[in-house]
Amino acid sequence: MRVQICAVGRMRAGPERMLVDDYLTRFDRTGRALGLGPAKLFEVEDKKGGGMAAEATLLEKAAPSGAFICVMDERGKTTTSPEFADLLGKWRDTGRQDLAFVIGGADGIAQNVRSRADFSLSLGKMVWPHMLARVMLCEQLYRAASILANSPYHRA
Which tens digit of pLDDT belongs to each residue from 93-107?
A: 999 999 999 999 888
Number of residues that make up the chain: 156
Asked if the model's pLDDT at residue 156 lies above 80, the reply is no
* Reported confidence tier of residue 18, pLDDT bands at 50, 70, 90: very high
For residue 140, give Cα distances in angstroms to 60, 66, 85, 98: 23, 23, 8, 18
- The mean pLDDT of the chain is 94
Mean of the pLDDT values across residues 55-80?
95
Q: The whole model's pTM is what?
A: 0.95
Which of 155, 103, 138 has the alpha carbon at shortest distance from 30? Answer: 138
Q: What dotted CATH number matches 2-148?
A: 3.40.1280.10
Which of 124, 122, 151, 123 has the alpha carbon at shortest distance from 136? Answer: 123
Domain boundaries, the chain: 2-148
